[in-house]
Amino acid sequence: MINTIYLQTFLAVVDTGSYTAAAEQLHMSQPAVSQHIRTLEDQLDHVRLFRRIGQRMVPTHAGEQLLVVARDMVMLAERAAQNIKALKGQVAGRVVIGCTSNNCDYLLPQLFAAFRKQFPSVSLAVQLAPAKVLLNALMNHQITMVLIEEQLNRRGIESYLLGSEELLVLVPHDHALTEHEAISLTLLRKQPLILPGSGLPLRRTIEDGLRRQGVAMSDIDVVFETDSMSMLLQSIREGIGIAFVPRTRIPAGDDLVAIQLTNMQISQEWYMLRVRDDVAPRAAQEFYHFLMSVDTAVMLAKQGLQRGHEG
């Protein structure tokens, strides 16, 4: 009989590409990971499950065959344990949220804290990765849900508009634009602009918003691009340029000033994606219901996000 704990170790090595990284992920020692893999290989008639290619451990043919069923076996074992606990009125398990950007760091902690008050036996985790990686992990049941800054349509996945927030133009406190209550597109065209990196969801949101107003990116003076929100904010302080920033990311203090656009609004949307699965683990179901609750809508509104609807 294959031990599901050994299968979890096997999957961790597959996902991380090394025994050391798997040990860190599982909070185990590296020798313990090696022992789990050796025992699993012995249980499977002494086959080799991994081979080294460069710096990574990759599955052998036997390992690939095991991988086909290993995730399902672990998921079913975890679901069975959660269902038994649910019979006693205890919701337990692990909810893993995938996120494409560090920008979710201000959104999730408060939600997690409120959810944990209701379900203290549920553990929560966040994984950061590109959208394509997260969607594949979601379909393979490696993560529970994905928080993403744009809507993505994919068969088998449903999306829920968690909320949207206005983007404001952020300038230094001594900038000439602070004399205006709102900025027209004519004024904006004359300003050096700092943008998120090309290909980032926030960048696409800004470009699409300007395009809808008839402004081509060739009309804008882009002087700096960065993937880091903290670097973007510091660049504004240093006078490199001005930038579009989500309302919830505007820092406290008086060194930066947020100004609205005249007769237009660009909004950043947040979508929660999950697999269309009626037999999802109880902890995942409870977290999803929590996100759609009135209490969560109030909490999001206080943070500056207007509530969305199920897609």
Model pTM score: 0.66
Please give the Cα distance from 65 to 59 (Å, whole number).
9
The pLDDT score that the predictor gives to residue 310 is 45
- Identify the burial level of 181 via C-beta atoms within 10 angstroms of its C-beta, where 0-12 means exposed, 13-18 middle and 19 or more buried: exposed
The pLDDT score that the predictor gives to residue 311 is 43
In Å, what is the CA distance from 87 to each residue of 117, 121, 245? 20, 14, 47
Provide the Cα torsion 213, 218, 224, 227; round to 10°.
60
The pLDDT score that the predictor gives to residue 234 is 94
Nearest to 127 by CA among 101, 91, 158, 99: 99
DSSP state of 310: B
* Two tokens, residue 259: 């100004």
Please give the Cα distance from 19 to 9 (Å, whole number).
9
Which domains are delineated in the chain?
1-74 (1.10.10.10), 164-268 (3.40.190.290)
The pLDDT score that the predictor gives to residue 232 is 93
What is the number of other CB atoms lying within 10 angstroms of the CB of residue 265? 11
The pLDDT score that the predictor gives to residue 299 is 86
SS3 272: strand
The residues of the chain scoring below 50 in pLDDT are 309-311
Largest Cα–Cα separation, the chain: 77
In Å, what is the CA distance from 181 to each residue of 167, 184, 220? 15, 10, 21
The pLDDT score that the predictor gives to residue 73 is 84
Please name the helix (run of DSSP H) or strand (run of DSSP E) that holds residue 194, with its range, or none. strand 192-196
Please give the Cα distance from 64 to 58 (Å, whole number).
9
